[in-house]
Amino acid sequence: MIAKLFSAGADVFRINMSHTSHDRMREMVGMIRDVEKECGRPIGILVDLQGPKLRIGEFAEGSVQLVNGASFVLDSDPTPGDVGRVQLPHPEILSALRPGHTLLLDDGKVRLKTTECMGTRAVTEVLIGGKMSNRKGVSLPDTEIPVSAMTAKDRGDLDAALETGVDWIALSFVQRPEDVTEARKIARGRALIMSKIEKPQAIQRLEEIIEVSDALMVARGDLGVELPLEKVPGLQKRIVRGARKLGKPVIVATQMLESMISIPVPTRAEVSDVATAVYEGADAVMLSAESASGAYPIEAVATMNRIAEEVERDALHRTIINAQRNEPEQTGADAIAAAARTVSETLDLAALIAWTASGATGLRIARERAEKPLLTLSPNISTGRRLALVWGVHAVLTEDAKDVNDMVERGCRHAYKDGFARPGQRVLIVAGVPFGTPGATNMMRIAFVGTDDIEGA
């Protein structure tokens, strides 16, 4: 099934640690790596940490019916609750709540407003009532909770994922940039850190969080619980553009083809939703239940792939992307990347080829969203796997170049072999000299694809 999903268009596979043991995670990683060997193409693996799960306690009778306007107390008393109170076994929440703060229970089905706070006890008014049962989740859109984004379980999951050699770590419950730097210190470059933007508190410090993250995910599910739904589309655009500005990959996720969990075709609205994310310039769009537990996983991936390809054939897509382009920063790497796009389009070259040890050159050129295909050549398989997430990148694993001639010859050979250039066409090759130096992008070379490249392939 993993091989079929990859053939249908999947580039990265996400393992959700909310539902996965360490042994199962290792087993799944092994299966993906086996498919990678069979296909001869780098495949990215993203491990998604669960994050803190905030829940109320239990009720004496299993559930209660809360009515609008009633008073309801949340406290630290472990005694089973009733229609007037229940335990909130999170002292950090009780101490952080303030009068006027909103609490959302069971994905927002029940809404409370805090009226009194006493450190270990909070009195609330029921704004929107309903049935409430044991261990339902709590969301706090107005409250910054003084806890790490990582629980003890997350730390154990992170250590296991790093030992297994995954490529990306998705960090849940990010509220502040310090949450991201904490995970980065543990990872120490062994995997890249993706911040899931799902809390209102993260929106307040979005620019700082983007700065310290390796990538972003627009986690629309939780954003839509803690914020008014009508605000989510605008926030999606803001997050995507903020990430694009700094050259950080960005994923749009949640309910993209939700109806395909049970039927083989999406709704028109879902198609428009996926297309909008592509028009905005997102690096990737993500399926969840559609491919994890749905009845039509292959069809869902293939549908999403077709939508993305069709959008990128539309002239309007290029107009939007060009309008969003930022001026290059005053660095040699930025100047080279911007020039590479301009040269490739002005001369109508067949492809851009970037030699990249760490992936930085590939990321920087991908940020330009050039019209021409982008091949990245790297001696590091981890680099190819990480770049599988990035817009427009066709990653190739190869030995590092010995000299400039070798760099040109093998670049042309791979462009021909993988179907991006024909004999007589020209390609643009970007690299850093000396070879193997991360971030030293300082050279461009235009080369013809010749008959020798065909024979070498």
Domain with CATH 3.40.1380.20 in the chain: 332-456
CA distance 443 to 371: 20
pLDDT tens digits, one per residue of 400-426 = 888 899 999 999 999 999 999 999 999
Check: CB of residue 49 under 8 Å from CB of residue 187. Answer: no
pLDDT tens digits, one per residue of 381-398 = 999 999 999 999 999 999
Residue type, 387: L
- Residue 187, pLDDT above cutoff 70: yes
Domain with CATH 2.40.33.10 in the chain: 63-139
User: E-strand spans in 328-409?
Assistant: 351-355, 374-378, 393-397
| Alpha helix segments (H runs only) across 188-286 | 200-204, 206-212, 220-226, 232-245, 268-280
Check: CB of residue 216 under 8 Å from CB of residue 251. Answer: yes
Q: What are phi and psi of 272, to 5 degrees?
A: -65, -35
Check: CB of residue 274 under 8 Å from CB of residue 301. Answer: no
**Adjacent-strand bridge partners of 171:** 195
Domain with CATH 3.20.20.60 in the chain: 2-51+149-320
Check: CB of residue 194 under 8 Å from CB of residue 214. Answer: yes
Q: Is 143 helix (H, G, I), strand (E, B) or coil?
A: coil
Superfamily of domain 2-51+149-320, CATH level 4: Phosphoenolpyruvate-binding domains (3.20.20.60)
User: E-strand spans in 275-332?
Assistant: 284-285
DSSP percent split of the chain into helix, strand, coil, nearest 5: 40, 25, 35
Kindly list the catalytic residues: 14, 55, 196, 254
Omega into 200 within 30° of 0, i.e. cis? no
**Fold category of 63-139 in CATH:** M1 Pyruvate Kinase; Domain 3 (2.40.33)
Cβ neighbours of residue 177 under 8 Å, at least 6 residues apart? 205, 208, 209, 211, 212
pLDDT tens digits, one per residue of 38-60 = 999 999 999 999 999 899 999 99
Check: CB of residue 17 under 8 Å from CB of residue 45. Answer: no
Q: Is 422 helix (H, G, I), strand (E, B) or coil?
A: coil
What DSSP element (H or E) covers 177?
helix 177-187
Q: What is the pLDDT of residue 146?
A: 86
**Fold category of 332-456 in CATH:** Pyruvate Kinase; Chain: A, domain 1 (3.40.1380)
Q: Is 25 helix (H, G, I), strand (E, B) or coil?
A: helix
Lowest mean pLDDT among 42-56, 86-100, 240-254, 442-456: 442-456
pTM: 0.93
Query: Which pair of tokens denotes residue 323?
Result: 């309008």
Q: What is the pLDDT of residue 328?
A: 86
